[in-house]
Structure 1
Amino acid sequence: MGDVRIGILGCGGRMGRQLLAGVMDTPGAQLAGGSERPGSAVVGQDLGVLAGREALGRSAVDTPAVIFADSDLVIDFTLPRATALHAGLAAEHGTALVIGTTGLLEEHLAELERAAQTVPVLRAANMSLGVTLLMELVRQAAAKLDEAYDIEVLEMHHRHKVDAPSGTALALGEAAAEGRNVDLDDASVRVRDGQTGPRPAGTIGFATLRGGDVAGDHSVIFAAEGERLELGHRASSRQVFVQGALKAALWLQGKPAGLYSMRDVLEL
């Protein structure tokens, strides 16, 4: 088998540029192309230059359909509404899809599930291998520690992040809810302000911090009378997300249609 042809959507963003470089550096992968939204100043620029490398002679386009047609697999770190549209293109062109977009709503997830009936789709709120393992540890801890242990999810990201809580924080909360066998929508507490009263037993709290250039800090705290267990992960570079996304892309190639996660990649 030859190299996997990988296309990058949102190739002009911080993650997109690092993904371009990552594909170029990964044995077994070949950069098939990159796209940005219409009107972006990135459109028409050389992909190699965007990646901080020598010119490749191939430019960023503003038509994602072209990227799906030319690729074996596409990596998408864009915006929720765009990702939902990209899922349809993946199914139309028979192209595998790796999704790192956060902030997806139920209607967006429905489009992913529809595409996964035709092509392999892998979605992760966080591509880091360390975070994937953290979610598993949180799930196990929540299953073993009863409601005497209050659960709080704390996250911090850079000042430019637009969604809160982060997709990773919500995924960690979901892991805790699965461990406790409860519905996260019913158990979560997202905001505390003013006279809130005592903490309701069994809830899963979220706290969000924003500032500076923090790539991503996440902690899950299990607090009881007399002791506190903290499970956490800190990303000092977005490169860990790039590495995870590329590992997922190479793993996904050749898989049957279906919806996959990083847990599948690590065989958890």
Structure 2
Amino acid sequence: MARIGIIGSSGRMGHALMQALDESRHDPAGGTDRGEDPAALADRSDALVDFSAPQALEANLHAAIGAGIPIVIGTTGLEESHHAAIDRAAQAVPVLQTGNTSLGVTLLAHLVYEAASRLGPDWDIEIVEMHHRMKVDAPSGTALLLGHAAAKGRGIDLDANSERGRDGHTGTRAEGAIGFAALRGGTVAGEHAVILAGERERITLTHSAEDRAIFAHGALKAAEWLIGKSAGRYTMQQVLGL
């Protein structure tokens, strides 16, 4: 049994994680939220799972480093400065950061990489995602994860080759571009489709999240897997052995 602490325990994912812990063989170390010190939680935990907010990331990383324990980061909306902080933390403790902790999405990203690496730039790639009305960032962390998988398969930089927010007279589609479309409404937990459109044929790879529990169980699996690992930055693909 592992003692796993939840950062952001009062949020949507926090509640799902606390429930998943209750259903698991692990020992809940408790949770912490906005305005609370994560260091105390880290001191009584074997691993931390963070689904809080980007502005809390640095304090959460410091808590993990101070306690010498691994941390799983599922917080989305991260910027380059956050990733730089994660890289620094990974020199001291095991860190796994991902836009989606679902095991199914992890496998989907692998399939997207394989498809993009085998099909030429004449196959257009579009990523469509839909989430509940309360989601504040777009594209979703999962959509970006899938975009990075496609870009890696193509051997290109995603930021330099993505198209977002098309409106008005945009001109023709740039060859090799990876397009994003974000839909918001209702209580959708998460829908993602990666479309590879070629001449007279089309491949669509999709994933539907029916309950947030899938992200919670995946995050707990990742936290358990990280325990005992050496310092470094890890991925969900490694958790699945891909």
Normalising by the residue count of structure 2, what TM-score does the alignment of the two structures yield?
0.98
In the other structure, the counterpart of 1:258 is: 232
**Aligned match of 1:96:** 70
Q: Aligned equivalents of 1:65 and 1:235: distance in 2? A: 32
Are residues 1:33 and 2:30 paired?
yes
User: What are structure 2's unaligned runs of at least 5 residues?
Assistant: none
Q: What's 1:18 paired with?
A: 16
In 1, Cα distance between the equivalents of 2:166 and 2:12?
32
Alpha-carbon contact 1:88-1:111 (below 8 Å) kept: no
Determine the structure 2 residue equivalent to 1:168.
Answer: 142
Residues of 2 paired with 1:234 and 1:18: CA distance? 17
| Root-mean-square deviation (Å) | 0.9
Aligned-pair CA distance for 1:85:
2.1
Instruction: Among all aligned residue pairs of Structure 1 and Structure 2, give the percentage whose two residues are the same amino acid.
Output: 55
* Match among 4, 7, 12 for residue 5 of structure 2: 7
Deviation of the 1:79 alpha carbon: 0.7
**SS of structure 2 residue aligned to 1:103:** coil
Report if the CA contact (8 A) 2:69-2:227 is conserved. no
Q: Distance in 2 between matches of 1:170 and 1:126?
A: 10
2:111 corresponds to 1:113: no
User: Match for residue 241 of structure 2?
Assistant: 267
Name the structure 1 match of 2:107: 133
CA distances 1:40-88 after superposition (whole Å, capped 9, x unpaired):
xxxxxxxxxxxxxxxxxxxxxx221110111111110011121222112
Identify which of structures 1 and 2 has the higher relative contact order when contacts are C-alpha pairs closer than 8 Å and 6+ apart.
2
Give the deviation of 1:165 after TM superposition: 0.2
SS of the residue corresponding to residue 86 of structure 1 reads: helix
Q: Give 1 or 2 for the bigger CA radius of gyration.
A: 1
CA-to-aligned-CA distance 1:94-140 (integer Å, 9 cap, x gap): 12101111111111111111111111111111000110000000001
Q: Which runs of 4+ in 1 moved over 2 A?
A: none
Q: Is the 8 A contact 1:215 1:236 kept in 2?
A: yes
